[in-house]
Structures are given as structure tokens and as C-alpha cells.
Structure 1
Amino acid sequence: MRRFSVAADTVIQPIKTRLDDFRQQTRVQAGSLIISMFGDAILPRGGRVWLGSLIRLLEPLELNERLVRTSVFRLAKEEWLRTETVGRRADYVLTNSGRRRFEEASRHIYASHAPLWDRRWRLILAVGEFEPKERERLRQALFWQGFGVLGADCFVHPSADLTAAFDALVAEGLSAYLDRLMPLLAADSRSGLSANDADLVRRAWNLDALASAYSEFVATYLPALAELRRDRQAEVGEEDAFLLRTLLIHDYRRLLLRDPELPDVLLPVDWPGQKARLLCKELYRRLVPASERHLDHLLTLADGTNPPCDPSYADRFPQDDPLAAMAL
């Protein structure tokens, strides 16, 4: 297969190391990676791709054709994707619900800063009876939306859209649970006798585990950013830029799925999530030009055309105070 690359002889060792580490994994969640790629690279180009093109894009990560086909088939069964036949070929297209889920995730992934807090807690109370297996499914589904747990029957989040949270439960196949759940918006209390917000955070979330995961993310990707900063003449090959961008967003998205996005006032000092966000933002912006050229060559539809990128997606990771990035 032809490889399109700018400065193909340039090897940036930290990037090669990250890509090689991924290739050496014995077990890859290909469906989750494809979801990340759809949201980051394919949605801006119309949300559709020919399966053969998707296979070619993932081949350099050593995901074989059979694995990609099986994973895409499962995503279609889960109603993330649907097929549209074009002659003897078919495009895989985001369903309406899949597009909504991606767009909701994008608001968190590409945000310029952490969300502001209105000092009110969002609660979901389990007011009906749940079998142990049902309760665990509910807990897992809300965990991946960032909800913490208070006792057995109360789930809490500082800023979630409760309507969107219930829609997500429906998308997860848990619509039968909704009539046993009560969404509430907690009023802000300033009584000296009440538990404070810090107490609630300590009970509801294991921030130590999340902090460790963020620190690992920074340790994984900071060497690549440091090398690009050090050598301003270095050009990342188009294929490598696309592959690293895909893994960067994939790993960051998985972290955000576990992150309740607590406001700064509720987080420990030197919270590594902020460093991870700044790192992801700067490295992503450096990878975009070369990776988009790669997509121009290899992302095709069933009819053979190359869909252009919607210019509105250029606003991802808008610029912040340039001094903030120096904190890395």
C-alpha cells in the first residue's frame, strides 16, 4: 500500500515509541478506537466512510481487516452506525443517535477550559426496586457519564445535563429503568451544619485513581510534544501525525469518560487533569495540518470521492492564554 508522508525520512523517536507501544498490545478494543476515529476525523468530513478506506487508515496500527470488519458490524448492531449501499460498495454512516453522542462528547474533549460551576449538584435517585445486576448496570452506565455514588441509591454530578443523562441511558438500552429514577437539582445550601462540597467529593469519587490515569497520560505524550517544541524544523510524517492524533484523542476521550469534570474549587492543588488538557490541546494542534493531508489522500467514500473537512471544525481547541501552555 502506498504511504503518503511529508519528510518521510524524519523519525521523531517519542512518536515512534508511542505508536510501537500500541502495536505491541496483545488486546486492542478496536470498536472503541473506531468510535474515537469517527468522532475526531470522520465526523468533520460528513460522518461517513467507505469500509475499505477505514481498513486502510487503521492498517498501520496493525488492526487487521477481519478485526475492523467485525468491530464495525458490532457498532452497527449497537446503532452507532448504519450502512448505505453505493453500487457494489457501502459507506458506514453515523446514525442520528450516534452523531448526537459524538457531538456531546466533542463539547468536552475540545473545550478550551474546564466548565464553570453554578454551585448546584445534579442528583439521580434510585427510588424503585433494582435487582443487583440491574443496579450494577445502572452504576456502570452513570459512571461512564462521570456520576459519583453516594450510598446505594444516589448518583451525583456537578454539571451534567440530566435530560442528556437520561437520553444516554436509553441509548445504553436501559430505558426500562427510567420510571424508577428521579432526577433532582440540589439547591445551594450555606448552612454551617451541612456537609461541605469537599466532603461530598471525597465520598462520591476516587480522585486518586483518576489523577494517576491523568499523570500516566501526560507521561505518555509529553515526550512527543517536548521534541516538537525542541526541534521547530521537525516535520511529522502525515501518516504518523494521523496515527498519533488518533491515539491521543482516543486516550484522552477514555479519561474524560471517567472524569466528572469537577470545578477547580473542588479539585486538589496541582490537579493533573489540567496539565493533560493543555498537553492534549497543544499536541493536537501541532498534528492537525499533516494529519489532515493524510485524510485528504486516504479517507474516501464508496463512490471514490474524498470528502472535504468542514471549516467549522477548525475551532476545536480554541486558543487560550499562551502562558498557560508553558505550565507544561
Structure 2
Amino acid sequence: MKARSALFDIYGDHLRARGGAAPVAALVDLLEPLGVKAPAVRTAISRMVKQGWLTACHIRGHRGYSLTPRATRRLDEAAARIYRTSRRDWDGKLDMVMFAPPVSRQERGRLADALRFHGYGPLAPGTWISPWRTPALPTVFAESDVAYDRFTTVHHGNTKALVARAWDLEELARRYREFVAELEPVVGLIGGGTPDRDAYTARFQLVHAFRVFLFSDPGLPSRLLPTPWAGSAAAAFFDAHAARLRPAADRFVHECLMSR
């Protein structure tokens, strides 16, 4: 588990609701059960500060780090999509963006990752679609300094086939089934008498694994998905165990924060 990714999970799933800040020592304590060592945590924090996700602060006389407004917006959007058992109503329209891809390979990759995170899939280089119109799109392109055209359109044809060009749904379904198969024994071992630290660790693994789907699943409308859809079963599995393990995980987080 990479320290930077784990820190995003810590802030998004636990610290955002507690003011979005924590002492460095508490962050080290929270990542230690996951096998992330203190030097890696400190290096990741430094990088996240440079990237504009965290800012230095003081908490009860100790050095700490808090979320920036940019990070807060990103984590709030992520949370709304992670806990997503119920689906939104779709009006049948697609949001389409067209742009000249950046010359730099690194910049192309960064822009593609941002578009995928916000629910867009590629039809062709420089042409991406989504069933949802996100207000974050202007910010995405402004941060990449890329001009774009945007259209709201209706597809007159087999929209399920069009969607299958932008997203590999068979592969996505396979990964959802794999997620359940791998995490079921992890969370299944956690019962009422399990130490809070172990419940926290299991829940963290569950959330960390499910959060990856933010970059590959836009939450397509049910009428554009195969039936049955493996993503629905995976989301129900996630919701049930994330809620069941939440109280014990919260107690462990509170203990780590208060001891520092």
C-alpha cells in the first residue's frame, strides 16, 4: 500500500469529518497497522504539500497537516461516489468534451486520470464522454491549461454499444467480482470481540480496494449496464461491511488522535 494513497484514504474516510487535520505522529500511528513506515509517511506528506493537497498547521502544540480547500472538494466528491448503492436518475443525455491532447506524455496521463476520476471515458484521443455533467470539468482543464469544447448530446443509436467503447465493462465486472472474492475473507474474520485496531485495518483495506474503482467506474445508468451487474453486488457488499466495521474503526482513529 503506497503511503500517499493511504493518506488520501485516512483523510477522506476519517479525518474529513473531524475537521480535516491531524498531527504527524497520529498519521504515523494510523498508517502503521497497514505496514506503512514513518519515513514513507513523512515523504508522502511532503509531496502532498507540494502538490497542493495538504498545508502545515499546529494541533495542540504539535505539528500537523490539514486539507486544503482543493483537497476537501476532491474528497467530498469521492465520498459521494464511494457510498453509492442508490443510483441517480439519468436524462438520456451525454456530456461530451473535445480537446487537443497535451504534447507531454506526463500531462496527457494526468489529464486522462482526472477525466476518469470525474466519470469520463474515451471514445477517441481528445474525445471523451460521460452520462453525468460534472461542474468540476472547467477546473480540470484549467489546471492542465488545455482548451476544450463541451457538448450536451443525445446519441441516436445503440448507446450501450457506444458506452462499451469508452469503458471495458467486461473487465470492470471481472474486477468487481475479484474485489468481493479477495475482501470477503478479510472482513469476514472481524466479529464482535475483535480488537478495534484489527477492525480498523480490515475496514481500511476494504475502502482502499473499493476506492480504486473511482478511476474506472463512472456509475453508469442501469439501462446502459449488463444485467445482472457485478458492480451493484460489489457496492452492496462494500456498504454492508463498511457500515458494520465503522464504529470500531472510528474508536481506533479517535484513540490515535487523542494520544498525540
- TM-score normalised by the chain length of structure 1: 0.73
Residue 72 (structure 2) aligns with: 99
2:136 counterpart SS class: helix
Unpaired stretches in structure 1, ≥5 consecutive residues: 1-27, 305-328
Residue 77 (structure 1) aligns with: 50
Q: Is the 8 A contact 1:145 1:258 kept in 2?
A: no
Residue 193 (structure 2) aligns with: 235
Return closer, same or farther for 1:85/1:270 CA change in 2, 3 Å cut-off: same
Residue 38 (structure 2) aligns with: 65
Q: Is the 8 A contact 2:101 2:108 kept in 1?
A: no
Whichever residue aligns with residue 206 of structure 2, its letter is L
Residue 138 (structure 2) aligns with: 166
Residue 284 (structure 1) aligns with: 242
1:85 counterpart SS class: strand
Q: Is the 8 A contact 1:30 1:63 kept in 2?
A: yes
Return closer, same or farther for 1:114/1:145 CA change in 2, 3 Å cut-off: same
Give per-residue Cα distances to partners, 1:226-275, cap 9 Å, x unaligned. Answer: 556xxxx7432100111112121111111122112111111111211111
Residue 15 (structure 1) aligns with: none
Structure of greater Rg: 1
Name whichever of 111-120 and 62-71 sits farther off: 111-120
For 1:289 and 1:86, the matched residues in 2 are separated by 24
User: 1:221 Cα deviation (Å)?
Assistant: 1.8
Return closer, same or farther for 1:87/1:205 CA change in 2, 3 Å cut-off: closer
User: 1:102 Cα deviation (Å)?
Assistant: 0.6
For 2:199 and 2:34, the matched residues in 1 are separated by 13
Residue 222 (structure 1) aligns with: 184
The yes-or-no answer on 1:184 pairing with 2:151 is: yes
Whichever residue aligns with residue 85 of structure 1, its letter is H
Query: Where in structure 2 are the equivalents of 1:1-328 lying within 5 Å?
Result: 28-85=1-58, 89-126=62-99, 128=100, 130-131=102-103, 133=105, 134-161=107-134, 163-170=135-142, 173-174=143-144, 176-177=145-146, 180-186=147-153, 188=154, 194-226=156-188, 234-300=192-258, 304=260
For 2:139 and 2:80, the matched residues in 1 are separated by 16
> Percent identity at matched positions?
31
User: 1:210 Cα deviation (Å)?
Assistant: 1.3
Name whichever of 261-270 and 292-301 sits farther off: 292-301
Whichever residue aligns with residue 136 of structure 2, its letter is A
Whichever residue aligns with residue 141 of structure 1, its letter is A
User: 1:144 Cα deviation (Å)?
Assistant: 3.1
- TM-score normalised by the chain length of structure 2: 0.91
Whichever residue aligns with residue 284 of structure 1, its letter is A
Task: Indicate the RMSD between aligned Cα atoms, in angstroms.
Answer: 2.1
Whichever residue aligns with residue 83 of structure 1, its letter is A
User: 1:89 Cα deviation (Å)?
Assistant: 2.6
Unpaired stretches in structure 2, ≥5 consecutive residues: none
For 2:212 and 2:63, the matched residues in 1 are separated by 29
Return closer, same or farther for 1:143/1:112 CA change in 2, 3 Å cut-off: closer
